Amino acid sequence: SQQGEEDPQALSIQEGENATMNCSYKTSINNLQWYRQNSGRGLVHLILIRSNEREKHSGRLRVTLDTSKKSSSLLITASRAADTASYFCATGSTGGFKTIFGAGTRLFVKA
Amino acid sequence: DVKVTQSSRYLVKRTGEKVFLECVQDMDHENMFWYRQDPGLGLRLIYFSYDVKMKEKGDIPEGYSVSREKKERFSLILESASTNQTSMYLCASRRGQGNEKLFFGSGTQLSVL
């Protein structure tokens, strides 16, 4: 079952612009995570936000979580060509082992 | 940093072959996972293991089995490979409980001809 759904499916921006990706999910969660995947490689964990948090920052990344709307957003500020990758949200349920991933957003940053 | 190593980057197998995908992690993590990734479908969980010799089915276990004889190693087995199992396979590990972050290997792109 697919829990998270990212929006948009693909995003193309110029270097220096901000990129915003959204994620919606269906069931109760204890945390939400964002991962990055360079083409043909494994996923790398970017940031985790817990269900009792509303906003979290890490460098150029800003994540928000709205549990009432079951949604999250990932903002990458001042994007760089090296940010070109696919970005996935993933959710973990309370007491569970599974981490469920969405289909991802493909970000392309033009130099 | 945690290192999760998948034995093969690319594999080409024939229909009906038995295929072994190996994954090793070096950080003494209790939990290990196998996902497959297909375009437009994201990552789907095949099997996971929370301890040695323990395994649980994920969302798409049909056609697969797993083995975890040692804590650091988690193997995915395709008993009789089929063309619809052509995919990217990703292994991941995680310490303890609580759905904390996953550490992924680089992936194995399997083609079944």
Cα(first)–Cα(last) distance of chain A, in Å?
Answer: 37
- CB contact B7 to A (< 8 Å): no
CB pairs under 8 A between A and B: 68
Contact: A98, B109; criterion CB under 8 Å: no
Residue range B28-69, pLDDT digits in tens? 999 999 999 998 888 999 999 999 999 999 999 999 999 999
Can you say how many angstroms the Cα of residue B85 is from the centroid of all Cα atoms in its chain?
13
Phi-psi sector, A67: left (phi>0), alpha (psi -120 to 50), beta: alpha
Superfamily assignment of A5-110 in CATH? Immunoglobulins (2.60.40.10)
Residue range A59-81, pLDDT digits in tens? 999 999 999 999 999 999 999 99
Contact: B104, A42; criterion CB under 8 Å: yes
Tell me how far apart the alpha carbons of residues B79 and B98 are, in angstroms, rounded to a whole number: 32
Q: Name the residue facing A101 among B31, B43, B109 (closest C-beta).
A: B43
**Does pLDDT of B11 surpass 90?**
yes
pLDDT at position A94: 66
Contact: B42, A48; criterion CB under 8 Å: no
The domains located in chain B, with CATH, are 14-97 (2.60.40.10)
Share the mean pLDDT of chain B: 93
pLDDT at position A1: 40
pLDDT at position B90: 97
Which residue of B lies nearest to A38 if distances are taken between CA atoms? B106
Cα atoms in the Cβ-side hemisphere of radius 13 Å centred on A19: 29
pLDDT at position A67: 94
pLDDT at position B96: 75
Tell me how far apart the alpha carbons of residues B12 and A77 are, in angstroms, rounded to a whole number: 41
- CB contact B104 to A (< 8 Å): yes
Contact: A99, B99; criterion CB under 8 Å: yes
Residue range A1-54, pLDDT digits in tens? 445 678 889 999 999 999 999 999 988 888 999 999 998 889 999 999 999 999
Provide, rounded to the nearest whole percent, the portion of chain B with pLDDT above 70: 96
**Residue A88: which pLDDT band, with cuts at 50, 70 and 90?**
very high
Interface with B, mutate which of A31, A87, A99 (most B CBs under 10 A): A99
Contact: A43, B102; criterion CB under 8 Å: yes
pLDDT at position B2: 66
Contact: B50, A101; criterion CB under 8 Å: no
Q: Name the residue facing B48 among A40, A93, A97 (closest C-beta).
A: A97
Helix/strand/coil percent split, chain A, to 5 = 5, 55, 40
